[in-house]
Structure 1
Amino acid sequence: MVFWLEKGVDGFRVDTVNMYSKDPAFPDAPVTDLNAECQEAGLTYCNGPRMNEYLAEMHAILSRYDAVTVGECPFTPDIDTVVGYVSAAQKRLNMVFQFDAVDIGKGKVFQYQTTPFNYTLSDLRNAISQTQGLLRYPDAWTTSFIENHDQARSISRFGDDSPRWRVRSGKILAMLFACLSGTLFIYQGQEIGMINMPKDWPIEEYLDVDSSNYYRMVAQRSKNDPAELANAHAALQHLSRDHARTPMQWNAAVNGGFTSPDTKPWMRVNSSATSINVAKQVKDRDSILAFWKHMLQMRKTYSNLLVHGELELLDQDNGSVFSFVKQGTRGQRALVTCNFAGEHSKAPGVLKHNQRKLLLSNVGSIGESCEVHPDVLEPWEGRLYLLN
């Protein structure tokens, strides 16, 4: 660490930060799949007895350089354990990536042993509430993210990546996660709304070891049953890490501007690059990129609400609309309401009982938002209000 700190780095994203200490008894993982060569063991090999000691040693060095740390922290359902890692008083880490939101819809034993969209809006709502709950502890901090190098593209997972709703889906996810408290992380390509590889791309395009190992396992178990292989392919098309690793889409040229046209890139450029690319969006004031820039400015302007505010869920049984109030540090309140459906939905009832000012909607031109139908949300519409 000192080598890089002396070169001037400002901090580290620490991989698998809770896996450095193991239970010295080396217990076996519970057997949950009798036919599997290996069992899910995350709760067995994470958060060992010397984790706090090791992280304190790291902090002692990092603090001399005022360096920031964000640790990857999977398989940690106990919030008190997470607080122990990120509490300022404990002097271990500044923040962690929790996987509650990005893990929804995945299989319990093998993450790809599932079907596309195998989750409810309540699952997403509860996962976000869990990670936002860290701010209820006086000296803890949290993060907001929905994409990274290990996750499929969020529009394809949580929105609708069809041409009709892709842009609006990208904007509603930008609004949702930019309105969550903590430090916001945006993954490359997320800011232009990159989507998963096409459904008709063959399995040979999936190069990640997790993808190939899972598909091979299904082939062996099913004796190459076409239906089982089709299900495996569908799961990978929805969730594989490969989708996050296709080259960045800079323009509509051959290879998306990632490399020269006569060079073969390490992974095939997503064919969506002809319509989803940086060059096109920087010229479009209503693009997903423009919306992200606007949301980031909004986040700075109302930081006491959107960065530091406490989240209160509303209408928690609603299967289509995700709504919450942010209580700011200066007495202000904001309402965020997002319709995660391809049809019109009722706006939350709290709007009828509060004076409000619409700050932003993802429908219409950016900066010219207006409530055409105050009580009804359009398909994939998100709104951000100030409440009085």
Structure 2
Amino acid sequence: MPPPPIEKAWWKEAVVYQIYPASFLDSNGDGLGDIPGIISKIPYIKSLGVDTIWLSPIFASPQKDMGYDVADYRSIHAPYGTVADVQKLIDELHANNVRILMDLVVNHTSDQHAWFKESRASRSSSKRDWYIWRDPKYDEQGNRKEPNNWKSIFGGSAWAYDEPTGQYYLALFLPSQPDLNWENADMREEAYNDMRFWLDRGVDGFRIDSMNLMSKHPNLPDGKVVTDEPYQSGAEFFASGPKMHDYIREMRTKVFDNYEVMSVGELGFTKDEQSVSQYVAKGRHELNMLFTGDIVDMDFGANGKYERDDFHPRKIRKITNMWQGAMPKFDGWNTVYLDNHDSGRSLSRYASDAPEHRSTAAKMLATYMMSLSGTPFLLAGQEIGMANLAKNYGAEAYIDVEGKNYYNEVLQTRGGDTSKMADVLREMQLKSRDHGRLPMQWDDSPNAGFTTADSKPWMTINKDYVDWNVASQIDDPESIMAYWKRMIALRKDYSDLLVYGSYIPLPETLTGEMVLGYERYSKTTGQRALVLLNFSDQEQIVVAKEYAEYTDSSILVSNQEVEESVGSEVALRPFGAVIILKHE
């Protein structure tokens, strides 16, 4: 039985532009991006054709993990601005018909949050159970040990010892990021009140950080011992735990259903179709959509992010075919993305940032994103082809806590010899979170127009900004930015086809291993389109005998010079992309 027609919704047709606040625009010369800087660029944001922004965390925070350590959900990190500034941002975005999503970090808080300060004040504190506290274990020699062997996501133990009260608290990220205990109903209610605080001010939804870590196995068992390291992954016991769906449904019922919001969950350690369906199937009444993370993990090694496993087009074909095919089965909805604040730039990882290919490759990736069913999320800078830091940057250019901790951990095991770290540095040059957080490249003036010439930017600015910036592209009809604008407009013009239409994969035997190909088909309009994407730096020829109905059809869009119509063969130049619209 075929799936029912897809129900339309604003959040399905949205095109989301992610802004990392520290890196977008500094309005006051302190070297850090801020809310007034974002407000000043609303006309630019609107000009791209996007209709929603997603703002990475801006709440009050000691910034041990760039705002993912929240000290007060109802205050703003002072260097970014004030609640009044955020209200002005919300109001001006809405005046321009642009919605706003905020980053909701409620798996954990900062250790500077008032809740945690009260929780750790004594074992009898009324908020003691708002966090996860456990007694120590002791070995045969009487040495104090952690409650279990879980490894922190950022390295080391997932437990931190509190000397005054003699217990450990769970902190899956940094020791300064204690995990909240979602089993405590009072804590949940206060978290919901914080969500309402922003929804009442006009926020249009949330991206929920580390969403499926909120429910842990109640016994907190040891993780399987698979290495000779002292700490092991406990993911099977702290990801998508037994009450996870109860919490999300409660959040939906008590909070989200009272507003017209978009909800997007970050789903870590869980990438299978059955588990995903339980979060986003319409009948489950949980979330609108998820980031599963697999599309930004395609070059991760079997044993971790910084192990080498080079990208191949077969990887993106497998993931794309799986999720495009899966969602219609259970009336779910996809996110479509290639970059975010936790990843290296897709242009450098999955395509090419070489000067001779960079523009074409960036346009090919834009074609991919905007021709799939789901809600597209682009990271600020994608629209101008921003790339990773080049290979002439050393380890000192990388400042993010995740990458730094890993580098130093490995360096220690290698006796402190930096000459033995080339393999780790290579992977950081591809995958470090720093790349997704590079300051926006506005023009070719000092500091890329991100901050004043005499200011020190909060992090490294890519030296390639002189050639790759907004000012150099904004009036160029052949630029990457112009192509993105065209693709966004095309997606809206052909929404029945490109947003809501069916996805039909083309087999590799037809396209060749380096080309990703698929059809989009709209039952509503009867339109068909053939999408061909060359993920290689060599010309590829696709012989489309089995798709003879596209012969003499017209080119809807392409990032290369092509004929007005196509025959039985389609030649794709290096990183070439084409969408062929079948004539009715």
Corresponding residue for residue 140 of structure 1 = 332
**1:328 Cα offset (Å):** 1.9
Separation of aligned partners in 2, 1:129 and 1:99: 15
Corresponding residue for residue 56 of structure 1 = 249
Structure 1 stretch displaced more, 6-15 or 77-86: 77-86
Separation of aligned partners in 1, 2:478 and 2:460: 28
Question: Which amino acid counterpart does residue 105 of structure 1 have in structure 2?
Answer: D
Report if aligned partners of 1:100, 1:131 keep a CA contact under 8 Å in 2.
no
**Helix, strand or coil for the counterpart of 1:101?**
helix
**Helix, strand or coil for the counterpart of 1:256?**
helix
Corresponding residue for residue 114 of structure 1 = 308
Equivalent residues in 2 for 1:1-388 (5 A)? Answer: 1-34=195-228, 36-60=229-253, 61-114=255-308, 118-225=310-417, 228-316=420-508, 318-330=512-524, 331-350=526-545, 353-355=548-550, 356-364=553-561, 374-388=569-583
Structure 1 stretch displaced more, 335-344 or 78-87: 78-87
Q: 1:19 to 1:360 in 2, by over 3 A?
A: same
- Structure 2: tracts of 5 or more residues without a match: 1-194
Separation of aligned partners in 2, 1:29 and 1:350: 53
Report if aligned partners of 2:541, 2:569 keep a CA contact under 8 Å in 1.
no
Corresponding residue for residue 69 of structure 2 = none
Report if aligned partners of 1:359, 1:386 keep a CA contact under 8 Å in 2.
yes
**1:189 Cα offset (Å):** 0.6
Q: 1:203 to 1:91 in 2, by over 3 A?
A: same
Q: 1:246 to 1:311 in 2, by over 3 A?
A: same
**Helix, strand or coil for the counterpart of 1:186?**
strand
**1:217 Cα offset (Å):** 1.9
Report if aligned partners of 2:271, 2:292 keep a CA contact under 8 Å in 1.
no
Q: TM-score, normalised by structure 1?
A: 0.93
Q: 1:350 to 1:18 in 2, by over 3 A?
A: farther
Question: Which amino acid counterpart does residue 293 of structure 1 have in structure 2?
Answer: K
**Helix, strand or coil for the counterpart of 1:181?**
coil
Q: 1:114 to 1:37 in 2, by over 3 A?
A: farther
1:123-165, Cα deviation, whole Å (9 max, x unpaired): 1111122222333225311110011000101100111101000
Q: TM-score, normalised by structure 2?
A: 0.63
Report if aligned partners of 2:263, 2:287 keep a CA contact under 8 Å in 1.
yes
- Structure 1: tracts of 5 or more residues without a match: none
**1:75 Cα offset (Å):** 1.7
**Helix, strand or coil for the counterpart of 1:195?**
coil
Separation of aligned partners in 2, 1:153 and 1:108: 21
Report if aligned partners of 2:208, 2:263 keep a CA contact under 8 Å in 1.
yes
Q: CA RMSD in A?
A: 2.0
Q: 1:38 to 1:78 in 2, by over 3 A?
A: same
**1:11 Cα offset (Å):** 0.7
Report if aligned partners of 2:282, 2:330 keep a CA contact under 8 Å in 1.
no
Separation of aligned partners in 2, 1:152 and 1:86: 27
Separation of aligned partners in 2, 1:123 and 1:283: 36
